[in-house]
Structure 1
Amino acid sequence: MVDTERLIMFLMVFHAADTDRANEIFPAENEDEDTEATV
């Protein structure tokens, strides 16, 4: 169904927007896990 594909695209766009917003608030979430253990 075309509606299903449209819904998936809709959710992907908003998920990407939420991820970008989260990276602005928590920039450390965007780093590799290897860099977190080097304390």
Structure 2
Amino acid sequence: MSQELSEHARRLYAEIMDSLDEELEMEIDDERYDAILLDAGY
């Protein structure tokens, strides 16, 4: 049972890290998009 829990915990951790990574990528994309718009005069 403890091995099953460890596998479940590992998968849960991987999902959380993936979600955080996606959020960070969206934030970076937003910053780049804002910089492009600013450079374009918008």
Global fold match (TM > 0.5): yes
Q: Which has the higher contact order (CA 8 A, sep 6+)?
A: 1
Q: TM-score, normalised by structure 1?
A: 0.65
Q: TM-score, normalised by structure 2?
A: 0.61
User: How many pairs are equivalent?
Assistant: 27
Instruction: Give me the CA root mean square deviation.
Output: 0.6
Gaps of 5+ in 2: 1-6, 34-42
Q: Give aligned-pair identity as a percent.
A: 0
Please say which structure displays the higher CA radius of gyration. 2
Gaps of 5+ in 1: 28-39
